[in-house]
């Protein structure tokens, strides 16, 4: 069976009773039931041991998470392995913090004296491993255009990075509680934490599409945006010590945060993935083009995207972000210069267009839910659903942008070059809503300051 046959839509929808070879859904089997029971047992223990620390809504969210994660594990079975592995590792770290005294005890200072915590499983160590593995995966994916082994290694390293980052967030949740009863919170509350979340979500959605369409050729493109977020995360961590766990501001002490922020960043992650697939589409389309004049708009758009963190990082140009911009522009130029051999390895234009559409459709659905949840949260916290705060305004701009994209596709048949350029330009809007608003526009919504 050829790769083109494997990528055909009819083949994609052909599944056995227990699921296809790529770990996608089939009829529920005993492993699905076992995974559900495992999650239910964990939730039952949490309700038994910590019910006094949860309000009514948080208990509902916990029970709903069991159903939601079970459903996601059935949709894509490799996700179950990730959740179990990260959960077991996080429990090991929590046990190490407790000194073997039980999950309800612990000493945060043990992270400096216990080898496994200091170098592997403390939240900061695990997230640093995530950053390193994402960088290595990006390099391997690009080498993978010449070596299938390197491409396979890129996939393995990406999974490793997601495992390390997920473990890091879970352990960070526990570390907050070890610091003090009023400090612990779900780790999605500030710029440092949501950058980790963004990298994980983007990478996970890419891994899903990689396996669904049986191609690793997009890994280098998508991991570029993930690596860019990692660069910002490292810079922000070491220049501002952003990895320090801080108490929540009063407005964030709400169960709404537990559902609003993850839904929001599923949107951000899939929009970013669609943008990089759009970039790959344009490279594929111009693979045989000899005139650089036709590629100039694509290069300029890529250069602007590379310059965004430089502009967000400070109102003054810094050597760090000038270097970042220079290297980013060189990478974009090198991709365009090597567009011929790269385009021959990429999937067909039809498949790239389909991935772009699916990513935007999923992102738009979750971003819509997140916007509604945000309005309900605002009414609960501030007494009004909408205040035209800069973050709210730019969230509306992002929503309208992708609503227009989907409308043009479904009603007017938008395809091809225009759709790809629009998806890529949409990353500019999404990036400003995600990061630029926090840096330049004061308001009620802020993950952090530079």
pLDDT digits (tens, 9 = 90+) for 302-358: 666 666 555 554 455 667 777 777 888 888 889 888 999 999 999 999 999 999 999
Residue with tokens 């669609």: 274
Residue with tokens 């290297």: 327
Q: Give the C-alpha distances (Å, rounded to integers) separating 210 from 72, 82, 220, 347.
A: 17, 16, 11, 11
Question: How large is the angle between the packed helices 296-313 and 257-285, nearest 10 degrees?
Answer: 150
**Secondary structure string (H, E, C) spanning the chain:** CCHHHHCCHHHHCCCCCCCCCCCECCCCCHHHHHHHHHHHHHHHHHHHHHHHHCCHHHHHHHHHHHHHHHHHHHHECHHHHHHHHHHHHHHHHHHHHHCCCCCCCCCHHHHHCCHHHHHHHCHHHHHHHHHHHHHHHHHHHHHCCCCHHHHHHHHHHHHHHHHHHHHHHHHHHHHHHHHCCCCCCCCCCCHHHHHHHHHHHHHHHHHHHHHHCCCCCCHHHHHHHHHHHHHHHHHHHHHHCCCCCCCCCHHHCCCCHHHHHHHHHHHHHHHHHHHHHHHHHHHHHCCCCCCCCCCHHHHHHHHHHHHHHHHHHCCCCCHHHHHHHHHHHHHHHHHHHCHHHHHHHCCCHHHHHHHHHHHHHHHHHHHHHHHHHHHHHHHHHHCCCCCCCHHHHHHHHHHHHHHHHHHHHHHHCCCHHHHHHHHHHHHHHHHHHHHHHHHHCCCCCCCCCC
The candidate with the shortest Cα–Cα distance to 435, out of 272, 276, 210, is 272
pTM of the model: 0.91
Q: What CA–CA distance (Å, rounded) separates 299 from 266?
A: 27
Sign of CA dihedral 216, 221, 222, 223: positive
Residue-by-residue pLDDT tens, the chain, 450 positions: 334 433 444 334 444 444 555 666 678 899 999 999 999 999 999 999 888 888 888 899 999 999 999 999 999 999 999 999 999 999 999 999 988 766 667 889 999 999 999 999 999 999 999 999 999 999 999 999 999 999 999 999 999 999 999 999 999 999 998 998 788 889 998 889 999 999 999 999 999 999 999 999 999 999 999 999 999 899 888 888 888 998 888 878 888 889 999 999 999 999 999 999 999 999 999 887 665 556 667 666 666 666 655 555 445 566 777 777 788 888 888 988 899 999 999 999 999 999 999 999 999 999 999 999 999 988 887 788 888 888 888 999 999 999 999 999 999 998 989 999 999 999 989 988 887 777 665 555 554 555
What is the largest distance, in Å, between two alpha-carbon atoms of the chain?
Answer: 68
Q: Give the C-alpha distances (Å, rounded to integers) separating 181 from 92, 106, 242, 256.
A: 21, 12, 21, 20
Q: What CA–CA distance (Å, rounded) separates 201 from 193?
A: 12
Burial 346-372 (b: 16+ CB within 10 A, else e): bbebebbbbbbbbbbbbbbebbebbbe
Q: What CA–CA distance (Å, rounded) separates 273 from 288?
A: 24
| Burial (0-12, 13-18, 19+ Cβ within 10 Å), 193 | buried
Q: CB–CB of 208/159 below 8 Å?
A: no
Burial 257-296 (b: 16+ CB within 10 A, else e): bbbbbbbbbbbbbbbbbbbbbbbbbbbbbbbeeeeeeebe
What pLDDT was estimated at residue 50?
84
Summarize pLDDT for 125-136 with one digit per residue, the tens.
999 999 999 999
What pLDDT was estimated at residue 378?
86
Q: CB–CB of 294/339 below 8 Å?
A: no
Q: CB–CB of 309/231 below 8 Å?
A: yes
What pLDDT was estimated at residue 278?
95
The candidate with the shortest Cα–Cα distance to 70, out of 33, 100, 96, 41, is 33
| Burial (0-12, 13-18, 19+ Cβ within 10 Å), 65 | middle
Token output for 434: 């995600």
Q: What CA–CA distance (Å, rounded) separates 356 from 401?
A: 15
What pLDDT was estimated at residue 28?
86
């Amino acid at each position: 069976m050829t790769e083109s046959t494997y990528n055909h839509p009819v083949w994609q929808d052909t599944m056995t009773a227990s699921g296809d070879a790529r770990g996608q859904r089939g009829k529920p089997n005993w492993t699905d039931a076992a995974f559900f029971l495992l999650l239910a047992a964990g939730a039952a223990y949490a309700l038994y041991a910590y019910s006094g620390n949860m309000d009514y809504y948080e208990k509902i969210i916990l029970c709903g998470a069991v159903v939601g994660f079970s459903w996601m594990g059935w949709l894509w079975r490799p996700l179950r392995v990730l959740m179990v592995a990260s959960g077991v590792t996080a429990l090991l770290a929590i046990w190490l913090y407790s000194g073997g005294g039980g999950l309800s005890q612990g000493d945060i200072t043990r992270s400096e004296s216990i080898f496994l915590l200091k170098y592997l499983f403390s939240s900061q160590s695990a997230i640093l491993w995530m950053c390193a593995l994402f960088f290595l995966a990006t390099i391997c994916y690009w080498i993978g255009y010449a070596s299938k082994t390197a491409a396979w290694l890129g996939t393995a390293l990406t999974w490793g990075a997601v495992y390390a980052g997920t473990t890091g967030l879970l352990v960070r949740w526990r570390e907050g509680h070890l610091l003090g009863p009023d400090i612990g919170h779900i780790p999605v509350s500030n710029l440092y934490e949501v950058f980790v979340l963004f990298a994980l979500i983007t990478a996970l959605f890419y891994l899903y599409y990689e396996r669904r369409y049986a191609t690793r050729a997009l890994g280098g493109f998508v991991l570029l945006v993930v690596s860019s977020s990692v660069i910002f995360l490292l810079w922000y961590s070491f220049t501002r010590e952003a990895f320090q766990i801080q108490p929540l501001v009063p407005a964030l002490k709400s169960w709404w945060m537990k559902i609003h922020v993850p839904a929001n960043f599923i949107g951000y992650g899939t929009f970013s993935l669609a943008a990089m697939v759009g970039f790959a589409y344009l490279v594929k389309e111009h693979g045989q083009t000899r005139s650089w004049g036709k590629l100039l708009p694509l290069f300029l758009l890529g250069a602007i995207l590379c310059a965004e963190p430089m502009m967000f990082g400070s109102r003054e140009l810094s050597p760090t972000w000038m270097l970042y911009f220079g290297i980013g522009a060189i990478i974009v130029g090198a991709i365009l210069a090597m567009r011929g051999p790269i385009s021959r390895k990429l999937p067909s234009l039809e498949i790239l267009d389909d991935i772009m559409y699916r990513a935007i459709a999923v992102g738009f659905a979750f971003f819509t839910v997140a916007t509604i949840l945000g309005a309900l949260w605002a009414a609960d916290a501030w007494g009004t659903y909408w205040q035209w705060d800069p973050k709210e305004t730019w969230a509306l701009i992002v929503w309208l942008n992708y609503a227009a994209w989907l409308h043009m596709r479904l009603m007017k048949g938008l395809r091809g070059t225009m759709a790809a350029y629009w998806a890529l330009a949409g990353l500019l809007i999404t990036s400003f809503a995600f990061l630029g608003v926090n840096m330049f526009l004061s308001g009620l919504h802020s993950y952090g300051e530079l």
